[in-house]
Amino acid sequence: MKKKKVLVFTGNRAEYSLQLPIINALNKSSKIDCKLMVSGSHLDKKFGETVKQIKKDKLKIAAKIKLNNNSSSRIRTPNLIGQGILKYSKIINKINPDILLVNADRFETFAATIASSQLGIPTFHIEGGDVTEGGTFDDNVRHAITKLSHFHFVTNKFSYNNLIHMGEEKWRVRNVGLPINDLAYNQKFINFKNLKLKFSLKDNSPLIILTQHPVTTEPHLSKFSIKEILKSVAHFITKYNCQVIATYPNNDVGSEEIIQELKKFNKKYKDFKLYRSLGNYLYHSLLNLSKNKNVLLLGNSSSGIKEAVIFKCPVLNIGSRQDGRLKPENVIDVKCNSKRINYRIKTCLFNKNFAKKLKKVKNPYFKKGTGKKITKIIEKIKLNTKLIRKKSNMNFKVY
């Protein structure tokens, strides 16, 4: 029996981690030949060259496509999308997979989806239907990917309903939960003793994990935002003996300003440690410390919305980047103002009532065995003209 050729696109560290349980499940199937197409910040030394993690995970890489990033202005992203379409289409055409699997809403993913859909390759999309009404282009890109894709694996019931309201046929949409849950709920994490050695952690010091990304509609505010946040971080390092582990932002416009401020801050405070990328195993191991230690996830990363709940870890979500997201009750929103941030950090780290609330928090993105569910659907689905020819169940009349 001929195996289905599934090509998985990955363009940055975050969506690679989210797709890893699916890739692992696909690789265990005797009916599927799974390979990766790797691009974006995975191949950028400045952002940790995270293709090394993919190689470490011993996954099959069919192609590595580097995009030339020569601008820090707003024209950068459209240029990269254009480059991506040209380069990805050649690779996809050459490999000729039966299915291209894409995740979420990154601009690199958008380029890959345009290329595959226009080549007539069945394109399967993970995390469609989510809503982020904040200062990003994510909604536009995510919904565009939805309309270009042929099958959808959503992570929650609200996203499922959103896709149906957008006119997607019901048979094309499956609510399978968030794939990263497969790893996080079943993984043995690094214990405190070993984390203590690696990060020089102190027994009784609260830990803040910081990731702040640029807001794509407001890249000019990146410097102001990170300085305001670091003002609060400095206060909690000096007054409350907090330790901070910070990671680089993604590679969107405005990231340079954030990185510069993080580097300057890193030189001033010995209890502040800066990393290009932690990888999901280290990252989750740190979040797992929240069971026995005061830990706070700070910033505007989507991992705070979707992953921290697994560990019942408090999250202080700063600014508008995640507005509109389905948020568990471990997440507190705050405007990017150092005084307000200070007040909310105290709540997250030291408020006993909030600590009790955390113990009861439910994960709205959880379904058991997401990777296996997706794999079974891919195994069984028929690759025919019905899959490619989309109909829209939209309530409008043509006059």
Q: For residue 273, what are the CA distances in angstroms to 172, 226, 236, 348?
A: 45, 15, 14, 21
Structure tokens at 274: 């800066």
Residues 162 and 249 in one domain: no
Burial class (CB in 10 A: 0-12, 13-18, 19+), 238: exposed
Contact (CB, 8 A) for 312 and 358: yes
Confirm whether 50 is domain-assigned.
Answer: yes
Q: Letter for the amino acid at 177? A: G
Q: Taking a C-beta distance cutoff of 8 angstroms, is the pair 102, 149 a contact?
A: yes
Q: What secondary structure letter does DSSP report for 41?
A: G
Residue 331: both structure tokens together:
């997440």
Same domain, 239 and 164: no
Pairing between β-strand 123-126 and β-strand 243-247 as defined by DSSP bridges = unpaired
The DSSP annotation for 345-382 comes to: HHHHHH-HHHHHHHHT---TT--TTHHHHHHHHHHH--
- Per-residue pLDDT of 139-162, as tens digits, reads 899 999 999 999 999 999 999 999
Residues 161 and 219 in one domain: no
Residue 236 shares a structural domain with residue 299: yes
Q: Are residues 373 and 265 in the same domain?
A: no
Same domain, 124 and 167: yes
- Give the pLDDT confidence of 76-119 residue by residue, as tens digits: 889 999 999 999 999 999 999 999 999 999 999 999 999 999 99
Answer yes or no: do 198 and 177 share one domain.
no
Residue 21 belongs to some domain of the structure: yes
Residue 396 in any domain: the answer is no
Domains held by the chain: number = 2
In a domain, 398, yes or no: no
Q: Given this model, what pLDDT does residue 398 score?
A: 45
The answer to the question of residue 394 being in a domain is no
Q: Report the CATH number that the domain containing residue 243 is assigned in CATH.
A: 3.40.50.2000
More confident residue, 382 or 253: 382
Q: Give the residue numbers spanning the domain of 74.
A: 4-184+366-388
In this structure, are 238 and 172 located in the same domain? no
Residue 399 lies in a domain: no
For the entire predicted model, the pTM comes to 0.91
pLDDT tens for residues 186-207?
A: 989 999 999 999 999 999 999 9
Residues 54 and 166 in one domain: yes
Say if residue 219 is in the same domain as residue 286: yes
CA dihedral sign, ordered 24, 30, 36, 37? negative
Question: Is the pLDDT reported for residue 136 higher than 70?
Answer: no
238-261 residue pLDDT tens: 999 999 999 999 988 899 999 999
Q: Do residues 19 and 137 share a domain? A: yes
Residues 220 and 272 in one domain: yes
The residues that bridge with 61 in the sheet, in sequence order, are 36
